[in-house]
Amino acid sequence: MGINVGKDYGAWKRVGGSFDEFPVQGGLVTERKEKYNFSFSDAELVQINIPDIYIVYGDIMFKQQQMYFRPTYDVPDMIKLRFTLSGNGTIFNRVNKQKYIFNSNQQNIIYMPELDGTGEYDTGHSYRFFEVHFAKEKFLQLAEHSTRALQLLADYADTGHYTQLADQNLPISWAMQNCIRDILNCEYPEGLKRLFIESKCIELLVLQAEAFEQAITQKQPAALRSDYDRECLYHARDYLIANIHQPPSVAELAKLCGINEFKLKQGFKGLFDNSIFGYLSDYRLNHGKELLLEGRSIKSVAFMLGYSSVQHFSNAFRKKFAITPGKLKG
């Protein structure tokens, strides 16, 4: 995955001719430190590239709140270990109609093969992130005999399905911070450096997998401790999004996903921190906001999202965002 420089998700390798060969071949370790100054941001980047693994550390000061990310098609298919060290950001990807929130001291694992959307960032604070990108085949090998959560993520990624380890990010632990520090401060000669960096990247993956497994066991309702039930709930979420214009009833959704209504309602709330139709409403309105910002008419957006009237859409929009659709469009 990549983005254009200065905007969180992008093809950093596009800038300054860095990492023309990606991923590198043989036993090479390629490292580059660069600074960029643009009208929309100032950025300092550290990039480390070894076979099947690409690392980027960024410290960015955004000069404008909203960004547009255009698709990049020349970046290898990779799974991203994402660590937001400071600052806050939000990305809405129109490709899979999903919103991603990155807050300070939070981490997750994300598979997003394509990005075409908008991002919003806090311009008052520095935005620092650290990412480890595993080539898909490398990640699939590592996840094969690991935790159920990692195996499920790998299964989705293997079929090209957009996914992340969990909808809710988790805090970055001290062990993860120390691991990141070790990678950035590594002074071994090249041969040992490659082994050291690869081992630390795998250690980060293990620490993340362990943290999410503990969260699943400790915080979720008993109904979610079953792998089958969790997979049913993710399927229910995906089905709702795919049928946003004509969502099924709870009874229909339960039948479609192979789970009873009680487990569906209880488990959905526990897994996604929202009721079924609360989640659907938030998703529709966030998507509607993006469509309005693209220039679509209020009437067409209300119709596209399945609202019974423009007034119904406007009332729901104002309740969520404290602004009417007309004022948002200016």
| Structural domain of 202 | 12-218
Look at residues 230, 132, 123 and name the one whose alpha carbon lies nearest to residue 172. Answer: 132
pLDDT at residue 148 in the model: 81
Instruction: Give the end of a domain, one of 258, 273, 288.
Output: 273
Its pTM surpasses 0.75: no
What is the number of domains present in the chain? 3
Q: Report the alpha-carbon distance of residue 102 to residue 265 in Å, rounded.
A: 27
Same domain, 117 and 236: no
Region class of 3: left (phi > 0), else alpha (psi between -120 and 50), else beta: beta
Q: Are 236 and 243 in contact (CB under 8 A)?
A: no
CATH number at residue 284: 1.10.10.60
Same domain, 226 and 212: no
pLDDT < 70 regions, the chain: 1-27, 72-75, 217-225, 330
Same domain, 198 and 256: no
pLDDT at residue 5 in the model: 38
Is the bond leading into 171 cis (omega within 30 degrees of zero)? no
Q: Report the alpha-carbon distance of residue 201 to residue 222 in Å, rounded.
A: 32
Look at residues 287, 328, 329 and name the one whose alpha carbon lies nearest to residue 307. Answer: 287
Q: Report the alpha-carbon distance of residue 131 to residue 107 in Å, rounded.
A: 10
Query: What amino acid occupies position 14?
Result: R
Report if residue 111 sits inside a domain: yes
pLDDT at residue 255 in the model: 92
Q: Report the alpha-carbon distance of residue 223 to residue 235 in Å, rounded.
A: 15
pLDDT at residue 6 in the model: 36
Collapsing DSSP states into helix, strand and coil, what is residue 305? coil
Same domain, 165 and 248: no
pLDDT at residue 17 in the model: 31
Same domain, 81 and 167: yes
Report if residue 298 sits inside a domain: yes
Q: Report the alpha-carbon distance of residue 47 to residue 144 in Å, rounded.
A: 28
Same domain, 150 and 231: no
CATH number at residue 149: 2.60.120.10
pLDDT at residue 76 in the model: 76
Same domain, 202 and 53: yes
Q: Report the alpha-carbon distance of residue 32 to residue 35 in Å, rounded.
A: 10
Q: Report the alpha-carbon distance of residue 270 to residue 213 in Å, rounded.
A: 15
Same domain, 32 and 170: yes
Burial class (CB in 10 A: 0-12, 13-18, 19+), 152: middle
pLDDT at residue 205 in the model: 96
Same domain, 183 and 67: yes
Look at residues 48, 56, 52 and name the one whose alpha carbon lies nearest to residue 11. Answer: 56
pLDDT at residue 7 in the model: 36
pLDDT digits 0-9 by tens, 157-175: 888 888 898 888 999 998 9
